[in-house]
A and B are shown apart, each in its own frame.
Chain A
């Protein structure tokens, strides 16, 4: 039995009066890749942001490494070793690529920048070519790489990726998924991955959740869910 790194119990989140998460239970074990799949508007991004306390859960608990972080300020959560590449990328448009990566290393006070920068650049050589370019002028795909690279710069214990494949060419998607796999296998990095691209995500994931309309409707190992006819019908065949 491996150690639980992140756990949610009955998490409920609201936007005003609208309830986006309706009691979510989930577990991410240390060293594994967990994934949440679900169609647009299911509440996946809301879950990712609720883990960071913005918006804050109105009910339930979120526990990271044995510590209740439900009410913890967002920036302190980051300092515990969680990093996120969020929906919409949210790179800093008027900063250079390099400065964006520096921002990623905020939680460790920019230490060992020279060691970790090459890792990101090796994964995304495009970023090295554009090192001094304003991030707002990058293409969508390059911005996505930057958002992921920035999250990696934190050297997190848990990496949260919200639709990293969105807007990327298939060849880059492949690259990113193999990079996630390598980070997980070689460095033991724990990953929570949100995807609409269910096929890729389920193949990669040790554990997986299906989210529908703010609720978890199915869970199991990635391989199990991949075999389920309901999952195949809803998320794999016909357009996804």
Chain B
């Protein structure tokens, strides 16, 4: 029971990160009907920028709490700006010119962009992994159980707490933007009928750009948290995280934002639980098996929208 609770906390943490990345996949799919295969690498750029800026600022776990908060705020802002610039530019350069071309063209271009980002970072930052000393340390012991002559503690680290809470906050703000602001309405309008949106005066190109920027901002935040949690990153982390998040988006129902979040959490749980109770080597197999099962029995994904609209 205690062991399970601990895995639940770990799964929630990992799932939060996957969920934030998955939203970027699902939003882009919703509005232009393509999978942005470079999105995982935009996440990687976010985590890499976090590493670079942290190193430049020279903060460590020993800096005062005020300095740390200030530095991390700056790190987040810069990572978001850099990732957003990349994703925005990718759409402008690699996808927009191919709109209206045959369906596979932007997908191939996306795979190309993924390789470009990875290679760019690999060459600019060297291929080796980038570690730091943990900055936010400490944890709360929630429960203790005596197993034999040892204690098993259920712990919630401060970093896990930060990840779960800030994901919650970010999701709330993001949902508000999509549901309640004219920007979000324009985004949803383009998703449902691009041509009609333009007839009403919506600048569709700009709305698509904003979608890429929003997705990148969430991915960059995920990248930041990923780096702060694992304290290491490299040019290739976007591949695995990207595939997991993409799986999460499909599992939740591609095109659905709550679905992406739910899918992210589920993939996080599956991966953590599988590693904890079965074999860590097969955790990816487990995640993808669930995906296949869902797609066979529920092709729309968990929260996908069945198109039952009157004509």
Residues of A participating in the B interface, judged by any CB pair closer than 8 Å: 52, 54, 73-75, 78-79, 83-84, 86, 90, 92-95, 99, 102-104, 106-107, 109-110, 136-140, 143, 150, 154
Besides A74-B195, A79-B201, A90-B199, 15 new A-B residue pairs in contact (Cβ under 8 A), listed by A number: A54-B199, A73-B203, A74-B198, A74-B199, A75-B201, A75-B204, A86-B196, A92-B196, A94-B188, A103-B185, A103-B200, A106-B186, A106-B200, A107-B200, A154-B200
Which residues of B80-97 are within 8 A (CB) of A? none
Known: A74-B198, A107-B201. A140 touches B310 (CB 8 A): yes
Min CB distance, A100 to chain B, in Å?
Answer: 9
Contact A99 B185 (CB under 8 A): yes
The residue on B at minimum CB distance from A53 is: B198
CB-CB under 8 A from B202, the residues of chain A are 75, 103, 106
Asked whether any CB of chain A lies closer than 8 Å to the CB of B309, the reply is yes
CB-CB under 8 A from A140, the residues of chain B are 310-311
Which residues of B138-196 are within 8 A (CB) of A? 182, 185-186, 188-189, 192-193, 195-196
Asked whether any CB of chain A lies closer than 8 Å to the CB of B99, the reply is no
Min CB distance, A126 to chain B, in Å?
Answer: 15
Interface size on B, residues (CB 8 A): 22
Asked whether any CB of chain A lies closer than 8 Å to the CB of B305, the reply is yes
Contact B200 A104 (CB under 8 A): yes
Q: Which of A54, A94, A154 is close to B195, meaning CB atoms less than 8 Å apart?
A: A54
Contact B199 A92 (CB under 8 A): no
The residue on B at minimum CB distance from A109 is: B182
Contact B195 A78 (CB under 8 A): no
Known: A94-B305, A110-B182, A138-B310. A103 touches B189 (CB 8 A): yes
Min CB distance, A60 to chain B, in Å?
Answer: 21
- Please give me the 5 A-B residue pairs with the lowest Cβ-Cβ distance, nearest first: A78-B201, A136-B309, A107-B201, A74-B198, A90-B196
Min CB distance, A115 to chain B, in Å?
Answer: 18
Min CB distance, B205 to chain A, in Å?
Answer: 8
Chain B 197-221 per-residue mask, 1 if CB under 8 angstroms from chain A, else 0: 1111111100000000000000000
Contact A93 B201 (CB under 8 A): no
Q: Which of B188, B199, B201, B310 is close to A95, meaning CB atoms less than 8 Å apart?
A: B188
Contact B203 A75 (CB under 8 A): yes
Contact A52 B199 (CB under 8 A): yes
Min CB distance, A98 to chain B, in Å?
Answer: 11
CB-CB under 8 A from B308, the residues of chain A are 136
Contact B185 A154 (CB under 8 A): no
Q: Report the bound CA distance from A35 to B204 in whole Å.
A: 30
Q: Which of B186, B189, B198 is close to A78, meaning CB atoms less than 8 Å apart?
A: B198
Min CB distance, B187 to chain A, in Å?
Answer: 11
Q: Which of B192, B198, B311 is close to A92, meaning CB atoms less than 8 Å apart?
A: B192
- Of the A-B pairs whose beta carbons lie under 8 Å apart in the complex, a sample of 17, sorted by A's number, is A54-B195, A74-B195, A74-B199, A78-B201, A83-B200, A90-B196, A95-B189, A95-B192, A102-B185, A103-B185, A103-B197, A103-B200, A106-B202, A109-B182, A137-B309, A140-B310, A154-B200
Q: Report the bound CA distance from A150 to B189 in whole Å.
A: 13
Contact A54 B198 (CB under 8 A): yes
CB-CB under 8 A from A78, the residues of chain B are 198-201
CB-CB under 8 A from B309, the residues of chain A are 93, 136-137
Interface centre among A94, A102, A109 (most CB of B within 10 A): A94
Contact B192 A75 (CB under 8 A): no
Interface centre among A78, A92, A154 (most CB of B within 10 A): A92
Q: Report the bound CA distance from A143 to B193 in whole Å.
A: 15
CB-CB under 8 A from A93, the residues of chain B are 192, 309
Min CB distance, B185 to chain A, in Å?
Answer: 6
CB-CB under 8 A from B196, the residues of chain A are 86, 90, 92
Min CB distance, A107 to chain B, in Å?
Answer: 4
Contact A92 B310 (CB under 8 A): no
Min CB distance, B250 to chain A, in Å?
Answer: 20
CB-CB under 8 A from B182, the residues of chain A are 102, 106, 109-110
